[in-house]
Amino acid sequence: MGRLIRKDGTSEEIDLIPAKISDHIVSMSYDINEKGEIKGKVRRQYSNYKALNFRNSVANEKEDTYLEKFENDNNKIELSEYNRTNQNDLLLPVLESFSFTSSNFSEVIGEKIYLNPMLFFLDEKNPFKQEKREYPVDFGFPFLEKYAISIKIPNNYMVENLPKSASVAMQDGSGVFKFNVAVSENNIQLSVVHQMNEVIIPIEKYEGLKEFYKTMLAKESEKIVLKKI
């Protein structure tokens, strides 16, 4: 909590924890061919404090530098048709869109293709590794990360193995994770939701938070296996 002090000497207590959830919403669609080459498009949106953090990260960076860094940080992915809007309009969410190609996010072994469906949005590292936590975890603001992913597989391939849908929540509802996947003919639809409703996680809930992230990252890391018909 904080206190707002006015010029006339009056004051009132102010809740410093944001009430609105900050979003990072991603829509991605891509095709994968027999060689494991991927071609697709991404559209993503940042709102509220997610938008603030993004604006701060690119404030003094030229677009070419930003794109080059993005490509190098993500297995030499190649970007094109990049567009960004509302970067300087603080009342609106920041929007990004781009096309991409890559052959570094899948593995072809014999007549099978191994693919992690989240591609460069996969976060493999658990930020909570300490055995014992000395201070509460402060996320700064409640947030929602949501991914809607559509994958078109080659016509002469079938899905041999698919990650199972799952839903996980911390005991008190502080964190929620949902992973839903479905197949229709040669299309795979994936929906992933990660939401933190509580901003400050006290020490006594640290083990639950660590296990929540461990379970979430393990599920996101599971691969799809495609087999030639």
143-153 pLDDT, tens digit each: 999 999 999 99
Return the domain boundaries, the chain.
2-6+15-228
- Per-residue pLDDT for 135 more than 80? yes
Q: So what's the pLDDT on residue 185?
A: 87
Q: So what's the pLDDT on residue 117?
A: 95
Instruction: Report the SS3 class of residue 210.
Output: helix
- Per-residue pLDDT for 48 more than 90? yes
2-6+15-228 maps to which CATH number?
2.60.120.1130
Q: So what's the pLDDT on residue 16?
A: 87
Q: How confident is the model at residue 129 (pLDDT cuts 50, 70, 90)?
A: confident
Q: So what's the pLDDT on residue 181?
A: 96
Q: Each residue of 106-141: b (16+ CB within 10 Å) or e?
A: bebeeeebebbbbbbbeeeeeeeeeeebeeebebeb
Least confident of 7-11, 138-142, 170-174: 170-174
Q: So what's the pLDDT on residue 19?
A: 85
Q: So what's the pLDDT on residue 17?
A: 86
Q: So what's the pLDDT on residue 215?
A: 94
Distance CA 115, CA 183 (A): 15
Mean model confidence pLDDT for the chain:
94
Half-sphere exposure of 154 (CA within 13 A, CB side): 17
Q: What mean pLDDT comes out for the span 84-106? A: 94
Distance CA 75, CA 120 (A): 8
Q: Are residues 145 and 195 in contact, defined by beta-carbon separation less than 8 angstroms? A: yes
- The proportion of the chain whose per-residue pLDDT surpasses 70, expressed as a percent, equals 100
